[in-house]
Structure 1
Amino acid sequence: MARPRTPLLDQERIGAVALQLVAEQGEFSVPQIARALGVQTGSVYHHVDGRAGVVELIRERVCAGIADEALALEPWDRALEAWARSYRAAFAAYPRVVPLLMTTPVRAPRVLAQYERAVALLLAAGFAKERVMPLLTGLENLILGSALDLAAPEAMWEPSPQTPLLAEALATVGAGRADAAFDLGVAAFLAYARGLLER
């Protein structure tokens, strides 16, 4: 039998199916991917380095939505804010991948290259080396928490007669609570970071 001109299986297809499974059910298994693609489980393993390899394919697909060019903007705080907003949008599109990707080490070369540029941005701005990873980790925590918040119901609290102050505070927020909270968090983060440079 002649070989098909288009391969039946490749990393692109595996990553797409895995991401779809996680988006739908919050998890995936290699046998599920194989069933969805109509191949044997062993065939999937010929294209990826086990489950960890599939996770990195998912990471690359989600992180492809982050505007890499944002890190080239000037000054550094404008670049970092633009990158953070793009990062949040990419993960907000797939909130169920957050627990999976944030509990496994980053190995994907393209994603590591983006972190390398973010580190270079902060070093060039004048931050001490020991400050760089705490800053990036803190920003990432803000971004990912906000991406999950965007997927949450708009009304996250159900006030009772015993919580009248909470009810009043919620009544003043209106739509866009998650966006307002993210704007506040980013502004506070950048103000803190600028303060580090001034000391």
Structure 2
Amino acid sequence: MGRPRTPLLDRERITTTALQLVDEQGDFSVPQIAKRLGVQTGSVYHHVDGRDGIIELLRERVASAIDPKTLDAAAPWDTALEAWARSYRAAFAAHPRAIPLLMTSPVRAPRVLEQYERAVTLLLEAGFAPRAVMPLLIALENLILGSALDLAAPETMWELTDDAPTPHLAEALAAVPEGRADQAFEVGLRGLMTQARTEREHPTQA
């Protein structure tokens, strides 16, 4: 038999299969990937640097949905940062079960590091002190990823019972229209951006 025109195994297929498994069950294993692709486990290792290498491929795949134009230096720094945050949130909200997996391992993927480099450059060129940049980006990322998980949660997260009377909570919940996750994200983003503008104009002392 001649060789198949399409290779049975490559990094793209491994990444796609790993992401499917993560979306289904929140994790993956190399034997599971091999079984789903119909190959031997050892064959997968010929294409990737083990489990850690697959995690970085997953990070690149999910992050590739973040619009790179949002960090355009031609836009005001705060407009660019907010646009990046919204695009970042949308990319990870598409694969919420990947978030715990990706956020508990160091970032090594070159294309993802390049995106962080652009965000850091944006803030430095806007006048932020170097020591203020990473706390701001980490706080923004915490908001983004928490909100991406919230988008995957049930719309009703509080089930009130007669066993614990909570009239004020009931009133507050009744006043919230649909889309609570979006509203909460906007509240958090406004607060964080207000603090960022203040820090830029009046840097705090270390």
TM range (shorter): over 0.9
- Equivalence for 1:95: 96
Deviation at 1:3, TM superposition (A): 2.8
Q: Deviations over 1:148-191 (max 9, x none)?
A: 00001111112234100000000000201000000111111100
Aligned runs of 1:103-122 on 2, under 5 Å? 103-122=104-123
Q: CA RMSD in A?
A: 0.9
SS in 2 for 1:173: coil
Deviation at 1:62, TM superposition (A): 0.5
Aligned runs of 1:59-98 on 2, under 5 Å? 59-72=59-72, 73-98=74-99
TM-score calculated relative to the size of structure 2: 0.94
- Equivalence for 1:131: 132
Q: Partners in 2 of 1:56 and 1:16 — Cα distance?
A: 13
Identity of matched residues, %: 70
- Equivalence for 2:176: 173
Q: Partners in 1 of 2:135 and 2:177 — Cα distance?
A: 33
- Structure 2 letter corresponding to 1:4: P
1:55 aligns with 2:87: no
SS in 1 for 2:134: helix
Q: Partners in 2 of 1:159 and 1:38 — Cα distance?
A: 48
Q: Partners in 2 of 1:59 and 1:146 — Cα distance?
A: 18
Q: Partners in 2 of 1:160 and 1:43 — Cα distance?
A: 54
1:31 aligns with 2:31: yes
- Equivalence for 1:6: 6
Aligned runs of 1:133-148 on 2, under 5 Å? 133-148=134-149
- Structure 1: tracts of 5 or more residues without a match: none
- Structure 2 letter corresponding to 1:186: L
Q: Partners in 1 of 2:4 and 2:177 — Cα distance?
A: 56
Deviation at 1:36, TM superposition (A): 0.6
Q: Partners in 2 of 1:194 and 1:111 — Cα distance?
A: 26
1:194 aligns with 2:197: yes
- Equivalence for 1:157: 158
